[in-house]
Amino acid sequence: MNFTQSFRLAIKSLTTSKMRALLTMLGIIIGVGAVIVILSLGNGLTGMVQQQIDKLGINMIQAQLFGGSENEMPDPEDMYDLVEANSDILTGVSPYLGVNAVVRHGSDKFDRTHLYGVSEIMYNSVTGYTIDGEQLAKGRFLSYMDVDRRENVCVIGAYLEQEAFDGNALGKQLSINGRPLTVVGVLKRNAELEMLPGSQDDQIYIPYTTALEIMGSRWVNFYIFTSSSGETAQAAKEILVNWLNSFFRTDDGEYMYFYVMTMAEQANQINAMMGVAMGVLVAIAAISLLVGGIGIMNIMLVSVTERTREIGVRKSLGAKRRDIRGQFVIEAGTTSAIGGILGIGFGWLLAKGIGAVLGGMLSENMGGGVFDATPTMGAILLSFGVSVGIGVLFGYLPANKAAKLNPIDALRYD
């Protein structure tokens, strides 16, 4: 087969008319570049979501309860019993309740501060993050004993420490609805976010048992469960759903009385949404590839006309139709493949540039994490394959025209 010669000939004709080659490839370069940028940024985002999930724990399950028709709601103790009964799968539970109370320190009143009643499960001592993504700066998080004994302790945000205690809060007290609570831990300041009243740094975690006492109610409508591992999360969800269905006396009360979601499901939901968005963007970028393909077809038609005599000579020397067709298809494929390679390089650089700018902004908003806008090997191979494919597809028509030329007419052509 004359593949190598056709290939070298294609390279030669590309290098002898560089401007023309570049303009021909431009559509492919832009199209492939755009696809690479989109896929790289998408890859970076997916990676960031994954990091976030790893941080929070893939074994986390959230349960939101809306309450039954007669306003019945499971008692927090029921949930603890459920975990105990399924201790091989469910490893912990934390009620998560927002508390409406007045927070004071001395004469200062903090009325925008968020107050949450949780259990020790809220904080994952292995990853060092709370379920909401905070890290500890000083002291410790709430312990099992704190929860069990309804201790008057709390963990506060960096803003509160700064404003109420001048940056030294450990061991000191603040009052919630007149009840004095000792600060046992301080959360790390949220990366780069401005410290403002009501922000993520202006919050307090207290044992949920203490919170229930403060509120004088046992109405808890949000729970966080942990399963023994990421793999058992789905089984844990089923246990919860079954229990909740029987509690609310229904066959399928999900969405109606309650809503249970594993971290993996949440991640899948986010990824699916991003997938759709990326798909739409890639489809738009693909229009440029189509235009690039038409550009290649155009230049190949010109090339066939310019080289009519060469085609005639080759035919007179014994080139069959498929030899001529192959030569021009290889030439078109080579042109678009080189365009594809340039596009991949160009897209990669652009993605790196955008990623550097966007990554900083994103990690501010998501509380840390690395944004790595690198195209996957699959994306690179796919783009390269598609660009070669486009060359071959759009080169076929001109190549076939060349293959069908009559050798006598072609030899006489000036």
Partner 1 sequence: MEHLIELKNVYKIYQMGEETVHALDGVDLAIDQGEFVAIVGSSGSGKSTAMNIIGCLDVPTSGTYHLGGVDVSTMGDDQQAEIRNKMLGFIFQQYNLIPKLSVLENVELPLLYAGVPGEERRERAIRSLERVGLADKGKNLPSQLSGGQQQRVSIARALAGTPSVILADEPTGALDSRTGREVLKFLKQLNREGDTVVLITHDNSIAVKADRIVRLQDGKIIYDGDSQDPRAVVQPHGAEEEEVEV
Q: Does 5 bind partner 1 (CB under 8 A)?
A: yes
Q: Does 313 bind partner 1 (CB under 8 A)?
A: yes
- Binding window for partner 1 (CB under 8 A); candidates: 239-247, 248-256, 307-315, 360-368: 307-315
- Spell 33-60 as b/e; 16+ CB within 10 A means b: bbbbbbbbbbbbbbbbbebbbebbbbbb
Closer to partner 1 by Cβ: residue 104 or 321: 321
Which of 247, 315, 387, 394 binds partner 1 (CB under 8 A)? It is 315
C-alpha dist (Å) from residue 77 to 73, 145, 222: 11, 16, 14
Residue 45: in which H helix or E strand, if any? helix 18-56
Q: Does 317 bind partner 1 (CB under 8 A)?
A: yes
One character per residue 24-63, x = contact with partner 1 (rule: CB under 8 A): ----------------------------------------
Which of 36, 142, 224, 319 binds partner 1 (CB under 8 A)? It is 319
CB of 9 to partner 1, least distance (A): 6
Q: Does 109 bind partner 1 (CB under 8 A)?
A: no
By C-alpha distance, which of 51, 27, 144, 35 is closest to 375? 35
CB 91 within 8 A of CB 65: no
- Report the C-alpha gap between 375 and 33 in whole angstroms: 11
Q: Is 407 helix (H, G, I), strand (E, B) or coil?
A: helix
Closer to partner 1 by Cβ: residue 265 or 310: 310
C-alpha dist (Å) from residue 3 to 9, 329, 331, 351, 380: 10, 10, 10, 35, 24
Which of 309, 349, 356, 360 binds partner 1 (CB under 8 A)? It is 309
Which of 246, 298, 320, 381 binds partner 1 (CB under 8 A)? It is 320
One character per residue 321-360, x = contact with partner 1 (rule: CB under 8 A): xxx-------------------------------------
Number of residues that bind partner 1 (CB under 8 A): 23
Closer to partner 1 by Cβ: residue 2 or 91: 2
Residues 6+ apart with CB under 8 A from 299: 20, 24, 335
Pairing state between β 179-187 and 153-156: parallel
- Report the C-alpha gap between 305 and 87 in whole angstroms: 78
CB of 396 to partner 1, least distance (A): 18
391-410 positions binding partner 1, by CB under 8 A? 407-408
Q: Does 2 bind partner 1 (CB under 8 A)?
A: yes
CB of 363 to partner 1, least distance (A): 54
Tokens representing 206 are: 């207290």
CB of 14 to partner 1, least distance (A): 11
Q: Does 372 bind partner 1 (CB under 8 A)?
A: no
Q: Does 302 bind partner 1 (CB under 8 A)?
A: no
Which of 7, 9, 254, 413 binds partner 1 (CB under 8 A)? It is 9
Which of 12, 109, 112, 218 binds partner 1 (CB under 8 A)? It is 12
Which of 314, 337, 359, 367 binds partner 1 (CB under 8 A)? It is 314
Tokens representing 324 are: 């001529």
Residue 227: in which H helix or E strand, if any? strand 222-227
Residues 6+ apart with CB under 8 A from 22: none
Q: Count CB neighbours of 404 within 10 A.
A: 10
Q: Which residues bind partner 1 (CB under 8 A)?
A: 2, 5, 9, 12-13, 16, 309-310, 312-323, 407-408, 411
